[in-house]
Copies of this chain bind each other. A is one copy, B any other.
Amino acid sequence: MKRRIKISLLFFVIVIAACNTQENTSETSKQVESVFPKGKLLDSPNFTGTVWLQMMGAQDSTLYARFGNVTFEAKARTNWHSHPGGQVLFITEGKGFYQAKGQPARALQKGDVVEIPRNVVHWHGAADDSEFAHIAISLNSDEGGAVWIEPVSDEEYEQAVNK
């Protein structure tokens, strides 16, 4: 009898352990899938940190728009820059920030939209603990492309994200 109870308890423990292991496996293996293709690792002096870019268009230059998917590793960001024609960001993954020069940084997450006016100097990038991805569409590109300025220093970045 005592032996049967021990065996029963042993099997009970096995049931719980087996099911929990399956749950844990599915939790640790759960990954946030990109909505849009990540593209290629970007090698550019206009960014700090690890960034991927998938340019998507426009194929038709008369649309006067340039758009693509940009993915930032944690802490990665653009340099300070501006767009003569303005830009819109559609955040599809993770957490990040947008900051216009002289303004507090705005925290961003999946589902947010940022409308960036013409010629406003700004940066955008990931939070310090999360990857971040957004569609970026530069508008009225017949008026010129992005005007790149200097990098966002670590000090500026820390101050912006930790306020």
Nearest-CB distance from A52 to chain B (Å)? 15
Q: CB of A104 within 8 A of chain B?
A: no
Residues A24-67 near B (CB distance < 8 A): 26, 34-37, 56-60, 62-65, 67
Q: CB of A90 within 8 A of chain B?
A: yes
- In angstroms, Cα B62 to Cα A86, docked, is 9
In-complex Cβ contact of A35 among B19, B110, B139 (8 A)? B110
Residues of B within 8 A of A26 (CB): 23, 26
Nearest-CB distance from A63 to chain B (Å)? 4
Q: Given contacts A11-B15, A19-B22, are A86 and B115 in contact (CB under 8 A)?
A: no
The answer to whether A113 touches B15 (Cβ under 8 A) is: no
Q: A35-B92, A63-B86, A63-B115 are in contact. List 17 more A-B contacts (CB 8 A).
A: A8-B11, A11-B11, A15-B19, A18-B19, A22-B22, A34-B111, A35-B35, A35-B110, A37-B111, A57-B115, A58-B115, A62-B86, A62-B118, A63-B118, A88-B137, A90-B90, A92-B92
Contact surface of A with B, Cβ cutoff 8 Å: 4, 7-8, 11, 14-15, 18-19, 22-23, 26, 34-37, 56-60, 62-65, 67, 85-86, 88, 90, 92, 110-111, 113, 115, 117-118, 135, 137, 139-140
